Amino acid sequence: MAEFGIFLLRVSVGALMAFGHGWPKFQKVLAGDPVKFPDPLGLGGELSFYLVVGAEFFCSILLILGLFTRLSLIPLAFTMCVAAFIQHSGDPFPKVELPLLYLGAYLTLLCTGAGSFRLQDKILSVRSNNRVIDFLFN
């Protein structure tokens, strides 16, 4: 039952982020719309936007599928840290709550991994004597 819980958390959080936040931003990229986006890290608004699109859409799709789960969670968790602690640092709690909820789910999945119900087991197996590589890829 715990494995199903991990699967449910992974798919629901991934889908909510990918299609609720990432897809609308990715559509702006596809449409060639001009980028107006905050620059909380001093990288430039346009680069910040593309990095957020990569995390929120593409990494979330990997999360849903159970491919490179822990690797995909790193940019997702980082994006939520920036959103909660930098971009919304002076905002009231309701503005910070959603990024913190996503961050909590991402950190939980970072600890548990993708669980048993993942596509990676079907198409790819990464085995190494290095514990860091095993942790990140399995």
Domain ranges of the chain: 2-137
Tell whether pTM > 0.85. Answer: yes
Percent share of the chain, pLDDT over 70: 92
Chain segment 92-112, per-residue pLDDT in tens? 999 999 999 999 999 999 999
- Calculate the alpha carbon distances from 35 to 29, 40, 101, 107 in Å: 8, 15, 27, 30
The reported pLDDT for the residue numbered 111 is 95
Rg over alpha carbons for the chain, rounded to the nearest Å, is 16
If one compares 114 and 23, the residue with the highest pLDDT of the two is 23
Q: What is the mean pLDDT of residues 45-73?
A: 95
Q: What is the mean pLDDT of residues 55-65?
A: 97
The reported pLDDT for the residue numbered 128 is 65
Percent share of the chain, pLDDT over 90: 71
